[in-house]
Amino acid sequence: KISTMGNNPADNLRMLELIRRSEKPMVGICMGDVGTPTRILAGKFGAPFTYATFHHERVLAPGQLSFQQMNEIYHYDRINADTEVYGVVADPIGHTLSPLIHNTAFRHFDLNKVYVPFRVPREDLSRFIDLTGRLDIRGLSVTIPHKEEVVKKLTEADAAVAGIGSANTVVFDGKKRLGYNTDYRAAMESLEAALGGRDEALQKLRGKTALVLGAGGLGKAVAYGLIRRGMNVVVADGDSQQALLLAKRFDCRSIEWSLRQSLSPDLLFNCTPIGMHPNVDETPFEKHILRPTTIVFDAVYNPENTLLVKEARGRNCLTITGVEMFVRQACRQIKLFTGRDGPADLMRETIRRAIGAAKY
């Protein structure tokens, strides 16, 4: 057994390839949350076993997963040399529930695939993408803070990525790196479903004012979609320069974050992590400004009923939660990863059960 601290994603590859080359049975682990993939993928590279703790509240080493997580989420006992690797790339990574619902979908279809959390610091993204082939990674979900930077590493991109300037999905096909933006379509589909369908939604949204909170990768995708549906979009972000750049790109307005509540929008769309677990007592917008006719869409999915959503319902607003958008974008990713439609009802049930069990 060899254990080292994982300082960057390349350390994981070195450890896993060391396992593969070893003449004697070897267990190799990179500790820390950067090194968690070595624990999950050890069997694929030839380790006879790996290490887990008996309970997630009794972690014995940094980055260690529980026996239950290894079996029920990652299905470690089914991982072998032929297992195809997918994953989510982010920093931080601990908040994501993407491995839970993607691995649920893979098991539903009885596919020899595993979906792994990769913590990749911003400065390591380019090198990580270059190493994906050696890790046998076939596809990635991309989230904070990499949605915009990853576009530079793509060889091809769909029209949405080209228009938005950010990608949340990468599929690897030989030397090709194909980029997609499932956030955009999932957000618009969720909004249209809540308003009675695409045609009715277009009638209700056209010419109205939307306030988009957050000018990152998700904010860009949402602003792009709302402008295409005829809305007058105003963007606010804690980084005023980022909001200005988004407004310039899409020819819309931006306002200072401190002035966001001077507006009374027809649609309020929160694309920030404000209100996400564990900071469940925070809200990005004061309830007294909300009108009963305001549509409130919160992209935060954990918890589903954020403080913003609760207060909006208290004002008789139509609300749309992040769970619906999260499931829809994940279903689109499953389609890209497997060629099959994602099992939406199963994925929705799985995510709600997981966040409902959380202790707030």
**Which residues are marked as active site?**
147
Query: Residue 339: which residues within 8 A CB-CB, separation 6 or more?
Result: none
Q: Give me the residues paired with residue 233 across strands.
A: 210
Q: Output helix, strand, coil percentages for the chain, rounded to the nearest 5.
A: 45, 20, 40
In the numeric block, which tokens belong to residue 283? 């809200």
Residue 242 CA: distances (Å) to CA of 126, 170, 222, 245, 310:
22, 24, 15, 5, 29
Helix (H, G, I), strand (E, B) or coil at 27: coil
CB 272 within 8 A of CB 213: yes
Q: Within 116-177, where are the H helices?
A: 125-131, 159-164
* CB neighbours of residue 124 within 10 Å: 19
Distance CA 201, CA 92 (A): 35
